[in-house]
Structure 1
Amino acid sequence: MANYEKNRRSQHGSVVIHVAIFLSLAVILFVGTELGYLFYLKREFQKSADLAALAGAQALNANNCTAAYGAAKSNANDSPSRNMPAGFLLADSDMACGQWNALDAIHANHFNEASAEKNAIRVSITRTPSPLFIFFTGNRTISVQAIAARALPKAALSINSTLLTLQTGQSPILDGLVGGLLGGSINLGAVGWQGLVTSQISLLSFLDVLAPKINLTVGDYDGILNANVTVAQLLDAMASVLQRNGALLSAELSEYKKLASLAAALNLPPIRVGDALGVITGTPTSALDLSLQAAQLTQAFVQLANSQVANPSAVLADVALPVAGVTATVKVIEPPQFSAVGNPELAKAAPLGPNKIYVRTAQIRTLISVNIGASGQLLTNLVAGLSSALTSLTSALISILTSVIDLTAPGDCSIIAIPCHTTPKAVISDVTALPLPIRIDINLDVAPASAYVTDFDCTNNADRKLWAASKSDVATLRIGKMGTSSADAKAKLFSSATLPPVVEPIALVDIGTVQSRKTCTVAVLGLCTLSFQEYLKADGTWTTQKSDAKRTAFGGGGIGLSINPDPVSSGAPTLTFRSSTPGLLKELNDTSAPAQTYLSTTATGNTAGVLIDTVNGLHLDLYAPSASTGLLGSVLQTTDAAATLVFNLLKTVVAPLLASVVNPLIELLLKSLGIDLANAEVGARMTCRAGAELVY
């Protein structure tokens, strides 16, 4: 019996052990099942987040987060291909639009939700699923996150504001212009300028060289583009790039570096790098892989510096043109925006809004003073043409003068009792064309040509398209006298960047006067019947020789010329760039030759033709006799038909003759600045790169 009780107690212990083992196995099974369920949900949530982020990023067009959220939710929630586990839905609160930039070290996961430009979507799923077994408690929250970035299309515009070719004779003008705009002088010469014209500078390389000069990290392009720098620092970085590339010889590089020193002496306020280069913050590194002409960058920086000088007349570029008696002065009123990189989707939504892709050439004010002596040859054609025209118009002019000015008729010699020499002395007129010496001031305010992106098409990358509206506000041309001397005209013209100068007329026609009288030579019965002699007043005596007579310049008045017309505009044609046209619309990082293909904003590049149209707006006025030699008096109001005829005939002669003098001078100056009136050239590049990828 004792043994039986002992065995029974032993059996009770074995049951407990088995129960304990069973319970342990059950717990392990339940926990494993619960954990497996949680891991399954996390994997499903992560898959759903990944796929939703990709779908949303692909639909993220022009910062349209609503469309991106809709695509992400449809991918996660909608049948038949829904990805979220049963019982769970993706909500707007689970998503955020932002800018993803691998170089962004400030924001978590390189994702900046506050950025103005959106190229990525973040999907964050946080859920607490119900337990499979109610007796399990504790933290069951599952959190997953995915970030997908869309490769946004990027487009770049550039506009010619510099030379594409260089002639040896232009280098002195370029040295004077570029150095003068910074208040000094340089001597790069033809070889140095040709080196700049033919040298292509990588924008990325330039930013990399600039970074340590402004105490920033190489490769932190957003930081560099947002940094404020001086023009001197920009030019110094350019010099370093040129030195590294070997674009200039040692002596030429030394001259180039003077530009940075001249800019530093101006003590100008700093500017934002992105604004100077026309690059939008947040632009991917791939979009910065763009080649630009070294001469273009140089002129842009120099013109930017000149435009920032507080006193408009403080720094002026004085240039002696290679024509005797001709000087030119140049001031930049508005700096150029020679290149721009941005997202064409945003530009299309608001072509002139904050995300515009917009370029312009500089607005330049110029003064060309032409001092012409009596022996000068510059206006030979004009003087000859006027003289020829006046030969046939003199009688008409005399007729006009007789009606509006008191030109006493010759004395009556018919009665001997009233001797001819005691009668009132007569006045005759002597008409001269363009009396020399004279000075002509030519003021040309060159308005900027501009272009901006209006539309794009990335549907077919093999035939991608970009449209840009362009406009050339050609110029305002003024011709006349703008001061008592060249120096006075310069001081008055550049005293203000906005107020137009006062234009006084140039004496086109001098209607001089000579006193005369008649004396009988033979009288019969008291009458002067046979002949009489006309005498002309000389100094203190009378003479029969016209060459010895005393002529009073403008004694009978004159005809004055001035031009002060309205600005001329070429309108706003649309330029179309297509990749299917060989070599036209290239990828941003395509550096193969030719570097860029340009389209002209207008059908003609004929500066002379444009200015002739402007010259046709000249004013001709008849002036009263002047007591002071060489000065024009008050304007005479006349509606005489003969006056209208004379003026119209003179305009027909003067316009092309004057244009033949003015146009070559203006073209010579503007070509050195890289400016073609009414013919700006715009280049474009675009990278579509459609699609999206997970970046986190």
Structure 2
Amino acid sequence: MNVSCRMSSRRSRGSVLVTTAIALSLIVITLLGTQIGYLMLVKRELQKTADLAALSGAQSLQPFSCTDAKSAAVTNAVQNMPPLLPPLAAADVECGNWDPDKREGPQHFGAPDTGQFFNAVRVQLSRTPALLLPSISGGQPFTLTVQALAAQRQPLASLSIRSTLLTVDSKQSDLLNALLGGLLGGSLTVTAAGWQGLLDTNVKLLSFLDQLKLDLNISAANYDQVLATNVDAGVLLQAMITVMERSGATATASVQALKSLLVSVQAAPFTLKLADLLGVASGTDAAGLSTELQLFQLVQGMIQVANGKNGLAADVPVTVPGIANITTKVRVVEPPQVSAVGNPALINASLGVGDPNRIYVRTAQVRVLLSVDLSKITGVLSNVLSTVTAALSPIINFLNSVLTLNLGTILSDLVATVACGGIFPACQVTQVIYAEALPAPIDIGISSGNGSALVTGHACNAADSKSLNVLANTSVARLNVGTVSNIFSSSQPATAAPVRIVEIGYREAKFDSCVLSLICSPKKWKTASGTFVENIANAKKTVISGLGLVVNSDIGGSVSGTALTYISPSAANLPEIDAAPYDGVGPDPSFKAISASSIVKSLGSTLGGIQIRPYSSDSSGILGGLLNGTLSLISNLLSTLQTMINNALGPLLDPTVNALLDLLGIDLAKAEIGARLSCNRGAELVY
């Protein structure tokens, strides 16, 4: 009995000891966990302190001075340093240059090299916090080390092109529908109010790209994939519509215009990459895409990009008062780039447009061919013909003065002889001159020059003082008048050959018989087969020469370019990237004209100065080289014809055709370049 009790007592004591040991172990583990948790909490607070101090320092960092950055970092750390720890010292703050492209990882940080400047702040903290339970860890201190690297967000600059076309009336609306519809290979039915709405409405680029990311199911953080994806034009237009409707513009004219365009594009679908239209530097963050674009410029640019790929020459119906037969064809040779965003600090101005980091926009390069049949204009044909007929004798004298022709005898009419034919010798065959007025249409080819703008430099100074330097260039436009066959070639410049205003030649004729120069049988004309017939319409014509005109003239263009400088502190002169659209009085000062010279006016003066000259001709009427005869013999005739043709061509540049050229962007005086620059964009943690 006693033995049994003693054994039970020993078992109980053993059980208590085991339980106590387990409990003590759990207590120790809990205390150790508390100690570790405390240290982790302190380290997290230290990391937060370092992060915020680095960000504060980077925001105050000057390009060549670290003083303000260190002061800002130390001040910020005072507010965030965990209690009972030494404050952040200036020695814990280091300024340097962060360059992920040129410096080795993982931090890509170091002292600035030649030509570089401070753009990042690194904060390193090593602190030894007091232990909650020093006896648990044997009293050994734990040193916690953290570091943070914050870099300044780089400046961002943007350029955009807009049309200064202010209003669209019904006539211009019809032209736009025919023009842009023809470039697409289809038709458009947008109203004048719709086009006006597109002119008056801007869309935020960021909202547009965000909507496209959703529509295309793209999950990438940046927008590079959106810009590089081939997208159906209908998807692009629908994204614009969605963005506009989300902003409350459901029933506006601009939305209705976009919906009309969507219907037309779905009937003649095409795809394009937004990168072909918008120049956005790779990796540009959302803040850099907060600029706005004119809807009209965006839609017109899309269509011009499409035409640059499909190669269609659009037939555009143009009606000019007094001219019945005029055809117009249009083709985009080089599409526009209507907007560009990038880091101006990366630009190497010496590389020009070859710089991979360029911020560059340009207008479209367009070619237009007007073909005019002046013979259908009332009075022109008869006036030219009567003028030439009255000058046949001077023409004959001139032709005889051209030794290389070796014409022999040419007469203005068949002359009777004393006696020929019948019992007399056969009547002589005579060369009788003829002149045919306006036998061919006159082609007027216009190759528009590009208007372009390139950021060449910037300055981000103290406070809000900043500037952006832009070089605007206008390439030479070209006017070709005559016979133009290669206007739409993308591999060679357009060239005109002389076109005939008057065709000059002779027919061969004779009398069957004449008696005493008084009685002659009817004139008979030699045909191509060698027989003689009475009907002059069947006579063979031998072309000798032609009075023709040709113009191959360069118009406008800038050799050295025009410097455009956008300067703030007046915020409207050089707004922030994400600034709201200008709503002040008068023109938007952030837009500047790309060219002061009007190409349309230059075209008019060039057309008004054409000259008519005598040319050789082959048997088909194609004009060759200039004839070196005695021009004074026909100078009065040439002068009179020039006046007639100038007066006939003058109406071509009436408001209707001017509007067509304006809508195409040919008149670079109607294009403006807008600039924006954000310098102080804060900082971000990069390590």
Distance in 2 between residues matched to 1:250 and 1:142, nearest whole Å: 58
Distance in 1 between residues matched to 2:673 and 2:369, nearest whole Å: 30
Per-residue deviation, residues 559-578 of structure 1 (Å, max 9, x unmatched): 23333445752341222334
Distance in 2 between residues matched to 1:409 and 1:639, nearest whole Å: 16
Distance in 1 between residues matched to 2:276 and 2:118, nearest whole Å: 21
Distance in 1 between residues matched to 2:416 and 2:278, nearest whole Å: 84
Q: CA deviation at 1:84?
A: 7.3
The answer to whether 1:671 aligns with 2:686 is no
Distance in 2 between residues matched to 1:57 and 1:68, nearest whole Å: 13
Distance in 1 between residues matched to 2:571 and 2:518, nearest whole Å: 86
1:13 maps to none
1:183 maps to 185
1:143 maps to 146
Distance in 2 between residues matched to 1:581 and 1:619, nearest whole Å: 56
Q: CA deviation at 1:583?
A: 5.3
1:408 maps to 409
Residues 638 and 694 from structure 1, CA distance in 2 versus in 1: closer, same or farther, beyond 3 angstroms? closer
Counterpart selection for 2:557 from 560, 569, 573? 569
Residues 308 and 557 from structure 1, CA distance in 2 versus in 1: closer, same or farther, beyond 3 angstroms? closer
Distance in 2 between residues matched to 1:493 and 1:513, nearest whole Å: 34
* 1:506-545 alignment runs, 5 A limit: 506-513=499-506, 537=523
The answer to whether 1:558 aligns with 2:549 is no
Counterpart selection for 2:260 from 255, 270, 278? 255
Per-residue deviation, residues 257-277 of structure 1 (Å, max 9, x unmatched): 1244246x34x4x52x45532
The answer to whether 1:367 aligns with 2:369 is yes
* 1:258-657 alignment runs, 5 A limit: 258-262=263-267, 265-266=269-270, 268=271, 271=273, 273-274=274-275, 276-309=277-310, 312=311, 315-323=312-320, 324-347=324-347, 352=353, 353-372=355-374, 374-377=375-378, 384=383, 396-404=394-402, 405=405, 406-408=407-409, 424-435=428-439, 438-459=440-461, 464-482=466-484, 494=488, 496-500=489-493, 503-513=496-506, 537=523, 555-565=543-553, 569-571=557-559, 572-579=561-568, 584-588=573-577, 589-593=579-583, 596-597=588-589, 598-610=591-603, 612-613=605-606, 620-624=613-617, 626=619, 631-632=621-622, 635=625, 637-638=627-628, 640=630, 642=632, 649=639, 653=643, 656-657=646-647
Q: CA deviation at 1:157?
A: 1.8
Q: Percent identity?
A: 27
Distance in 1 between residues matched to 2:638 and 2:438, nearest whole Å: 17
Distance in 2 between residues matched to 1:128 and 1:252, nearest whole Å: 65
1:10 maps to none
Residues 250 and 548 from structure 1, CA distance in 2 versus in 1: closer, same or farther, beyond 3 angstroms? same
The answer to whether 1:123 aligns with 2:134 is no
Distance in 2 between residues matched to 1:112 and 1:336, nearest whole Å: 38
Residues 677 and 161 from structure 1, CA distance in 2 versus in 1: closer, same or farther, beyond 3 angstroms? same
2:680 maps to 690
Residues 256 and 341 from structure 1, CA distance in 2 versus in 1: closer, same or farther, beyond 3 angstroms? same
Aligned residue type for 1:498: S
* 1:76-115 alignment runs, 5 A limit: 85=89, 96-97=98-99
Per-residue deviation, residues 502-556 of structure 1 (Å, max 9, x unmatched): 7443211222436678999998xxxxxxx98999936699xxxxx9999876644
Q: CA deviation at 1:56?
A: 5.2
Q: CA deviation at 1:498?
A: 1.7
Query: Structure 2: which 5+ residue stretches go unaligned?
Result: 1-34, 75-86, 110-115, 131-137, 528-534
Distance in 1 between residues matched to 2:602 and 2:637, nearest whole Å: 22
Per-residue deviation, residues 644-668 of structure 1 (Å, max 9, x unmatched): 9689858964884475255447534
Q: CA deviation at 1:231?
A: 3.6
Residues 279 and 624 from structure 1, CA distance in 2 versus in 1: closer, same or farther, beyond 3 angstroms? closer
Per-residue deviation, residues 358-402 of structure 1 (Å, max 9, x unmatched): 110112233333345x4434xx66985x67986897654332201
Q: CA deviation at 1:641?
A: 5.4
CA RMSD of aligned residues (A): 5.3
1:23 maps to none
Residues 274 and 427 from structure 1, CA distance in 2 versus in 1: closer, same or farther, beyond 3 angstroms? closer
Q: CA deviation at 1:623?
A: 1.8
Residues 412 and 497 from structure 1, CA distance in 2 versus in 1: closer, same or farther, beyond 3 angstroms? closer
Residues 505 and 541, structure 2, Cα contact 8 Å, conserved in 1: yes
1:7 maps to none
Distance in 2 between residues matched to 1:414 and 1:676, nearest whole Å: 63
Aligned residue type for 2:451: A
Residues 202 and 294, structure 2, Cα contact 8 Å, conserved in 1: yes
Q: CA deviation at 1:469?
A: 1.2
Q: CA deviation at 1:168?
A: 1.0
Q: CA deviation at 1:234?
A: 1.8
Per-residue deviation, residues 264-297 of structure 1 (Å, max 9, x unmatched): x34x4x52x4553223244444443323221111
Q: CA deviation at 1:317?
A: 2.3
1:21 maps to none
Distance in 1 between residues matched to 2:512 and 2:265, nearest whole Å: 79
Provide the TM-score with structure 2 as the length reference.
Answer: 0.69
Distance in 2 between residues matched to 1:493 and 1:691, nearest whole Å: 48
Residue-pair matches, total? 594
Q: CA deviation at 1:479?
A: 2.9
Residues 49 and 125, structure 1, Cα contact 8 Å, conserved in 2: no
Per-residue deviation, residues 462-497 of structure 1 (Å, max 9, x unmatched): 664433211122422333335xxxxxx6xx755x52
Q: CA deviation at 1:421?
A: 9.0
Distance in 1 between residues matched to 2:66 and 2:276, nearest whole Å: 33
Q: CA deviation at 1:456?
A: 3.3
Q: CA deviation at 1:123?
A: 1.6
Query: Structure 1: which 5+ residue stretches go unaligned?
Result: 1-31, 62-66, 78-82, 100-106, 483-488, 524-530, 542-546
Aligned residue type for 2:564: L
